[in-house]
Structure formats: C-alpha cells, structure tokens
Amino acid sequence: MSARSSAFGRFRGRWRVALRYGWRDARRNKGRTALVAVMVVLPVALGSFAATVLWSARDTPESIAQRALGTQMQAHLAYDSPGVEQQPDALGWGGTGEETEPRPREDVEADLAAALPGGDRLVPVVRASTEVHAGGLQLDGEAMQADLSDPALMVSFTLAEGTSPAEGEVALSTTTADQLGVGIGDTVEVAISPMSGAPDIEPTSAQVAGLLDGPQPQRVEVLFPASGPLAAPAELPSSQDTWVQWFVAGDSPVTWDDVLALNEVGAVVTSRDVLLDPPPDEDVPYYGGLPAGGTTSDLVQQWTPFAAVVAVALLEVVLLIGPAFAVGARRSARSLALIAATGGTTRALRAVVLGTGVVIGAASALVGTVIGVVAGVVAVNAASDNVPVVPWLPVLGILLVGVGIAASAAWLPARGASKADVVAVLAGRRGDVAYRRWPAVVGTVLGLGGFAGAVVAAVAGQALLLAAGVVVGELGLVLACGGIVALLGRLARHLPLSWRFALRDAARHRARTAPALAAVLIAVAGASGGLVYSSSQSTFDVRSQTLAAAPGALTVAVSDLAGTTALSDRQVDRIEELVREVVPDAGELHPVTALRDTQGSVTTSSWAVPPPDHEFSSAYGAEVGSIVGPIVDDGALLELLGVPEPEAAREALRDGRAVVLAGDVWDDGTTHLNVSSRDSESEEELENRTVTLPATGVGDPLGPTYTGLPVVPPNLVDESGVGTSVIGVIGMPGTPPSDAELQTLQGALDEEFGAGEWGTCQVCAGVGQPVQDIGAPQWLSTLLIVGSAGVLALAAAWIAAALAATESRPDLATLAAVGAAPTTRKRIVAAQAGTIVVIGSVLGAVSGIALGAAFVLFERYRYDVPDLRWTVEIPWPVLAALVVVLPLLAVAAAWLVTRSRLVLTRRLAG
C-alpha cells in the first residue's frame, strides 16, 4: 500500500469517527446544539431569502421578457429608420443620422414580414399617449388598440376582472381605475395626448369593461379593441399622435441574426430569444467593438466595499458561535482526555471537536436554506407581480458558507482542546494552557494599521485597499481581545468584589472570553460604522435635493422652458379660479413676484453667483412647477417657499439685506447677482452685468438647492436695476393634492395658457416635497442597525456569562463556604456579562467611527473630482445611548435569570 493511500485511509477513518462522535454529541447536548443551529440557520436563511427576493425583483432576462412581451409573443417591433443599430435588450438604439423619406405602412410591413423567421407572423397594434378623464379628474397613460380576438393577444393581455373590451368599451389598469375612482361599468373619456403642440383631439367616451391584471406587455394602461378611436398612420415614420407597432407571434424564436436583419429594414426589436441568450458584445454593432459592461476596475470599485462588509459579518457569526463550542469542549474535556490517553493524536482530537461543528453546521445550513428559499418565494408572490426566481448556484454557495461558519467557529475550541493537559483533566483539574503575548501585540498593530490604512485608501479612492484595511483592522481587533482582557485584569484590584472576580476570571480564561468580547466589539463597531454612514448618507441626500417649496405647498408658476415669463393680474385671477375648481381645499393663494422684467421680446433675469472658492452653488435651478428666484418679498412667503431659517431670513429682509444660501455669501458680506438681458426673437444677449447687494446666508453652504432663493427685499429692487414681474402663485392646501388632481390642474392650465413642445408647459403646477432631517439617520435604518447589533452583542455576552457561570461553580462554592451572601452569585454573573459588553461596546464604538468615516471618505473621493457634499456626520446621541444601554441590558438580564442559591461542590487540590 502506498504512503498516499495509507494517509488517505487514516484521514477517512479519523473523520468517520469524528462525524459519528459529532452526531452523538449533538444529540446528547440538545441545548447547545439548538443554540448553534439557530446561529447558523439565521444567516443562511436570511442570505437565501435575500438572494431569492433580489433575483426575483431585479431585471432578469425573464422578467424583462415578461414585461415587454407577455407570455406568448416572440418579439416586439417599433419602426425607426433603415439601418438602425440597437442594444440586445432594445433599451438603447441609434439611427444612421440620415434623413429618410416616409414609406407606405404596407410596404414597411411587407419588408418586416419577409425578415421574420419562418412560421412567425406580425400582429399589428396602434399605440398612443392618452389622457383618461373621469369624475372631473384626469390621468396620463399609455394606450394600445389591437384585435383582441387574436389568440396570441388574448393570452398576453390578462384581466383581473371583467371582460375584454368590445366596440365602445375600454380596459384600464387597476392603478388608473383606482386613481380615478372608477370600476366595471363606469364611463370614462379618453383623449390622445398631442405631440409637438398639435391641436387637441376630441375625447372619446367609453365604458370600462375590464381591469387589466398587473403590468401588461409594453406597460399598457389603456386597452382598446380594434374598433377603438386610434388611427394607424398611413406612412412610416409618422408625425401623427399615434404610431403603429407589431408583436411577433409564432413558434420560431427571433434570433440575433434576425434582429440584425430587422434593423436593416428599420425596426428596433425586443426579442425573447435575445433577452434570454444575448450575443457577445463584439457581435453588437451598436457597441462599436467596445465592451458594454463596466471595466474590471469599475466592478472592483463597486463591489469590494460590500464584500468587506459581508466578510466582517461572517466573522461576527463565527465569533458568536465560538463560545458555544468552547462550552462543548469544556464539558467533553474528560472524554477527549481519555481519547488522548488511549493513543489519540492531536489531529484526532481536533477532528472530534470539529466533527460536531460540521454535523450541526450541515444540518442547520440545509434547514436555513429551505426556510429562506420558501420564505422568499412566498414573499415575492405576495408582494409583487414578479415571477419568483431561485438562484440555485448562489443559494448553494450560501449553504456551504453556513457549514463553513460552524466549522470555523469550532476550530479554536478544537485547537485548544487538543492542547489541554491530559493528566490535569483526568485528575479533575482545569487543563488550561499558557497564553502567549504575541497575538495581542500583533493584533494591536494590525488593528491600528488596518483602520489607518482604510482611511488612507478611502481618501485615495482605492476600493480594494479600503476593503483590505477594514478586514485586517477587524481581524487585528479580534487577535488583540485576549491581550486587552489580560491588561484590564491587572486593574481589577481597584474594583468591588463582583467586578474584580469577573475581570480576573475573564483574564484567566481568555479562550472563552476573547471570542465573546470580539463578537460584541465587532457588532458594536458594525453598528457604529453603519450609523455614521447612514447619518452621512442622509446629509448627502438632503444636500442633493432641489426644493421647490415647503412640503405640501402647491405652486403654479411660469416655466423658464417656455415663452411665458410673466403673468398679468387677470391671468393670476384665472389661475386662482382653476386651482379652486380642481383642489377645493387649496387654502389661501399668494401671488409671487420675481426680480425679472419683460419688455416686449426682451427679458431681463438674474441669479446668484457663488464666491470663487465655493465649489457648490445653490444654482437655484428650475423644476416643473417651481417658483424660481430671485423672489421679491418682505418675509411673508418665506415659510411657503421653504426657505431655511425663516426667522433669521425675515430679520435680514427687515434690515434691507438679500437672503441667499450660506455658500453664496462673499467674504465682504454681499451676494453677486448676474443680470442678463436677452431678446427672445433674435436670440441675442443684450446685456450681462453683475450687481452687488448686501446679503445674509441661511442653510447649509453645500446644499440643498432652494429654487425660491435668493429673496430680495423690496428696498433693493431699484438698486438692482431690474424690474419685477408676477411669476406665479403659492398656497398651502389642507390636504396635499393627489396625482390625479395635479394632472387635472395641469390639463386645465395647458388649456388656458397653451402647452409647449414635447410635453412642456407654459404655466406649470407642482407640489413641494418633504425633506428629511439634515444630519440624522433614518429612524428605520437606525432601528435596524441598533437592534441587530444589540441582539448580537447581548447574545455573545450571555453565552459567555453562562459558560463562565458553569466554570466558576467551584470558586463560587468556596465563597459560599466562607460566608458569601446568597446574592453573590447573581452579582458575579451579572458582572461577567457586563464586563464583556462594557469593554466591547467602548472599543467597538471607537473603531466603528473610524470604520464609518473610512466608507464616507471613500464616497467623497472615489471619483476624480471630490464630492464635498459627503462629510463625516457622527450621531453622538445614538452612539452614546448604544454604549450605555447595551451594558445595562446585559447586566440586568444576567442578574434576573441567575439563581441566588450556591451549590457546594468538592474541589481537588492542584
């Protein structure tokens, strides 16, 4: 027999015995097995659940095909121009850039049919953007008109209730019906939305025959039968307000070669076969020979920090389970010593302890996988219309990770058990081995170096080095935990009895204490880092917003994108009438005057210019329905405009100073307004000058953008040299308008003032959006972060305290024998739990701040130009509460569940 065969035989025999012993040990110690199983089941179930939900929710080829084509169609065609080039998923395309003459639709359809694979046919449909009116309200939607008697269309467009529409009828999406408050049998009016300023088309009345079941192919919300009001254009491409498209029905898949052939004819193609099996990038002319996805560097930048977080989370689970295996190793010390005394090698002893971890981990991971997958499928079916997709390869990887977690957690206890003093254990004494100092020294160096390196890497924008620094720093802290406990144990003499006992016991049994301490430390570090990042993300999100008015405020204003620049008194009165007709609870409406002058075709406007050293300007950019400054006001409209620090702003206006964003105030206490005059007829700039006005800054210098700023007091209007115009009205309704009310009001405004090209409005309506608190993390994310960290930290502390209480029975018995009070045991166990949580919470909070700061700095410097809106925001009150409350909970719970009675036991001399 060869040496290799002999070695394999010994390995197989060793592990056969180890797994058999592990199975029996798991059955014998049901409490410990249940604890470890729960610790493994939870992350595996969560991972499997998340994978199933994310894969089901993301835009998979299957879900894209379902939304675009339904269940039966092979492809969808839309005409563009001959020689068009497209992406395989048809989300991007481009023509040749040459003007093409319109062709008869029949000729185009003949060419398309000739390019189809054999056995397939064209199913023509007519599309249009529409407005649905009912009960005085209107909603925009995409309409389709088709021969619903076609078997392929009957299968593709399914109904939640009702029947397919016949002549004079229509089917609506459930969302549209709910918004308009209509149901089966009600009558609605449907009007085609005009393109390019074309005249309005008279609405068509139709009875609601059915409600469409969820998302329909091509996002259709209004479905007409073939006899509906939409007219197919006679020539393609068409400038009409309706356009013809085609589905492809049949048994033959439309391959990429077929797509290229249809592109030559002029069609942009969404093919089921191409979506499910896309061609390589080099075969796609649209890409011009370049890869479509991001580069390897981009992927590293995107995913490496996430991988570091996952690695730290897995380390946390391993550390949580480790003390439980340490309990098992302690309780099995005599059995392991007997194995060693009868010839068992160190490898055999390690395998025996590891066998328990493998057995429990495999069974628990399998159960967790089943739970996670089933829960994910149920959640997807209940919460969305997506088809559940189980990514079996990632799920298998998660299962194997679960087994690895349990085995890794058992490794250190197995290693310690294999080195125990056999004679001492068999004699009934502790078999602990001496501890070395080098792990603590190395861990301290790695911890400090890792976190420092992570911060440096973040500033340099290096994702890979950032992740490496985070992982190395966390591992260093884990290695240093034993040394930290030993160092603090030397200070125990200054503490009361219970805490002195707890600290010295922790220092003496570092193999048990260090993993639990590390688990608490990493849990709190993760929570602290998450809170810092969440708070910084919240501030960044606020700074990135453009705020048009106070939350819920209704604004109606002229559009800078259209020709209207000012409103007459009659027009303001008419706007107020329209608002009250559509929004009965509109409240008081106030005219808004801007520093803007219109004389004939010449318009003079102005805007704030930031100081040269201030990279971010408020810009005061316009959105649809925005009140765009500079506004002329004495302070009456500040709350409605959503201006920050309204009292300070009002005082500045009384003092004759303009109000601008803090970053737009120059060093001399002024703001510079750029004044420009432009002739709309000749498109010539007639004047461009700068006006300097005394100013007061409000809000955050880095944002957000307030479209109502600057605000100029009336006494500075003459000094600016610019006239004034009424540009809109603003009010605070008792109830914010619904989408249907807002769209109805916009339709009325378009009818009154006219609509611009391509959906723009001359006078636009809008509603101010709510703003989250600057610098405060979202309450839900805070609750999840703190709650998760608290559960993990307390679990680690209680496991370690339970083990310590078991191992301390002889010492407690000695105390009882010399007259210790009955509550001594409760105080000591509470102190043992508190010791771990206090040390772990303080160190975890400090290291977590560094961890969160590193990730925030990475966001700030990850691109060539630093994004200064990312700043490190530390939520001190939440962190302080975390550091104080966790130890109190740990101590209180340990005190309450520990019995006072001390049991006398026999102790053997060493």
Q: Which two tokens stand for residue 618?
A: 């408020």
Lowest mean pLDDT among 306-315, 365-374, 505-514, 731-740: 306-315
Higher-scoring residue by pLDDT: 12, 694: 694
Alpha helices by DSSP H, 272-391: 272-276, 296-331, 333-341, 346-383
pLDDT of amino acid 513: 78
Alpha helices by DSSP H, 218-294: 256-265, 272-276
Q: What is the mean pLDDT of the chain?
A: 80
Higher-scoring residue by pLDDT: 428, 264: 264
Residue type, 160: A
Residue position matching structure tokens 């006001």: 633
Contact in structure between 126 and 225 (CB atoms under 8 Å): no
Q: Give percent above pLDDT 90 in the chain.
A: 20
What is the distance between the alpha carbons of residues 698 and 671, in angstroms, rounded to a whole number? Answer: 12
Residue type, 439: P
CA atoms within 13 A on the CB side of 296: 1
Q: Is the pLDDT of residue 814 over 80?
A: no
Lowest mean pLDDT among 305-309, 603-607, 887-891: 305-309
pLDDT of amino acid 810: 67
Q: What angle do CA 810, 830, 847 make, to 5 degrees?
A: 115
Mean pLDDT for the stretch of residues 285-308: 63
CA atoms within 13 A on the CB side of 863: 7
Strands (E), 186-305: 187-192, 204-212, 222-224, 235-236, 242-249, 267-271
Q: pLDDT per residue over 415-448, tens digit each?
A: 665 565 555 555 555 555 556 677 778 888 888 8
Exposure class string for 4-35: b at 16+ Cβ within 10 A, else e: eeeeeeeeeebbebbbebbbebbeebeebbeb
Q: How far is CA 737 from the centre of its chain?
A: 28
pLDDT of amino acid 380: 81
Burial of 657 (0-12, 13-18, 19+ CB in 10 A): buried
**Domain boundaries, given as residue ranges, for the chain:** 72-296, 434-539+776-910, 546-767
The pLDDT-based confidence of 115 (bands split at 50, 70, 90) is very high
Mean pLDDT for the stretch of residues 404-419: 69
Contact in structure between 542 and 704 (CB atoms under 8 Å): yes
Residue type, 581: E
Residue 9 phi, psi dihedral angles, 5° rounding: -65, -45
Q: Which two tokens stand for residue 90?
A: 């048809």
pLDDT of amino acid 817: 66
Q: Is the pLDDT of residue 32 over 80?
A: no
Mean pLDDT for the stretch of residues 368-390: 82
pLDDT of amino acid 621: 46
Lowest mean pLDDT among 290-299, 312-321, 456-465, 692-701: 290-299
What count of residues does the chain have? 910
The pLDDT-based confidence of 622 (bands split at 50, 70, 90) is very low
pLDDT of amino acid 731: 92
pLDDT of amino acid 763: 83
What letter would DSSP give residue 761? B
The pLDDT-based confidence of 910 (bands split at 50, 70, 90) is very low
pLDDT of amino acid 816: 67
Q: Is the pLDDT of residue 67 over 90?
A: no
What is the distance between the alpha carbons of residues 598 and 724, in angstroms, rounded to a whole number? Answer: 8
What is the distance between the alpha carbons of residues 132 and 217, in angstroms, rounded to a whole number? Answer: 19
Contact in structure between 745 and 582 (CB atoms under 8 Å): yes
The pLDDT-based confidence of 409 (bands split at 50, 70, 90) is confident
Q: Is the pLDDT of residue 485 over 50?
A: yes
pLDDT of amino acid 484: 82
What is the distance between the alpha carbons of residues 278 and 283, in angstroms, rounded to a whole number? Answer: 10
Q: Give percent above pLDDT 70 in the chain.
A: 77
The predicted model scores a pTM of 0.69
Residue type, 118: G
Q: Is the pLDDT of residue 88 over 70?
A: yes
Q: Is the pLDDT of residue 469 over 90?
A: no
Cβ contacts of residue 243 below 8 Å, gap of 6+?
A: 78, 79, 126, 127, 128, 233
